[in-house]
């Protein structure tokens, strides 16, 4: 799916051609993982276990990293570049006409080390959004199989990551609920003015 020019490079710094030349000091993979909320609470040894299952991948602009509706088997941490997250929306234009289109949700920056596709660590489910590279990007890829293996070896690590994921999902669900309430209120007001 992705070109893999280097994997698990020593010390967290890619060799020539890796794209990080000219930067003062690229953070180590451990530093990047420690900055990802999904890995909050992991000790150094646990972060090392996660590092060991990371693959570093690169992709060019306009490449689709994950596609809504396809099965996912890995999550990603963006370490360089920018990506765009979108979803397909369906609009009822009339009783007989339906249109679909892409709805842009957010742009993620590599400097923030955002993660996406986390649900793939728990299950081989369908992706809920499409993520497309806007620039040359570098990412850490963590596979479902690798994560499952690490969790079997260190159940405490699995518990901490799953707890963090549940907390993140709970927050997203609350936000989505608030957004639905706002939209339904706005729709009710618009329809009442129409009458």
Question: Which residue, among 56, 37, 49, has the nearest Cα to 140 in the 3D structure?
Answer: 56
DSSP class per residue in 146-165: HHHHHHHH-HHHHHHHHHHH
Helix axes 155-194, 144-153, angle to 10 degrees: 130
The arithmetic mean of pLDDT across residues 68-73, rounded, is 93
Q: Say if residue 184's pLDDT is above 60.
A: yes
Residues contacting residue 75 through CB under 8 Å, at least 6 positions apart:
115, 116, 117, 118, 119, 120, 121, 141, 142, 147
**Rounded percentage of the chain residues whose pLDDT exceeds 90:** 56
pTM score, whole prediction: 0.74
Sign of the Cα torsion 167, 170, 174, 179 reads positive
Sign of the Cα torsion 43, 44, 46, 51 reads positive
Strand arrangement of the beta sheet that strand 74-80 belongs to: 54-59, 137-143, 74-80, 115-116
Predicted confidence (pLDDT) per residue in 151-173, tens digit: 999 999 999 999 999 988 887 77
Q: Where are the domains of the chain?
A: 10-194
Third-level CATH fold of 10-194: Jelly Rolls (2.60.120)
Predicted confidence (pLDDT) per residue in 73-105, tens digit: 999 999 999 999 998 876 666 667 666 666 677
Query: Which SS3 state, helix, strand or coil, does residue 38 take?
Result: helix
């Amino acid at each position: 799916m992705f070109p893999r020019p280097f994997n698990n490079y020593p010390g967290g710094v890619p060799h020539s051609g890796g794209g990080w030349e000219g930067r003062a000091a690229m953070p180590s993979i451990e530093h990047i993982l420690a900055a990802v909320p999904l890995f909050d609470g992991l000790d150094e040894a646990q972060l090392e276990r996660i590092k060991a299952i990371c693959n570093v991948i690169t992709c060019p602009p306009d490449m689709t990293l994950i596609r809504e509706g396809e099965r996912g088997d890995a999550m990603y941490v963006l370490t360089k570049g920018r990506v765009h997250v979108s979803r397909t929306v369906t609009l009822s234009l009339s009783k007989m006409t339906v249109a679909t289109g892409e709805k842009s949700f957010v742009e993620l920056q590599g400097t923030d080390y955002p993660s996406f596709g986390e649900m793939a660590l728990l299950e081989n489910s369908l992706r809920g959004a499409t993520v497309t590279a806007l620039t040359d990007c570098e990412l850490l890829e963590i596979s479902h199989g690798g994560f499952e293996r690490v969790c079997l070896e260190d159940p405490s690590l699995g518990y901490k990551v799953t707890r963090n994921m549940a907390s993140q999902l709970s927050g997203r669900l609350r936000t989505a609920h608030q957004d639905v309430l706002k939209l339904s209120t706005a729709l009710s007001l618009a329809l009442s003015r129409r009458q």
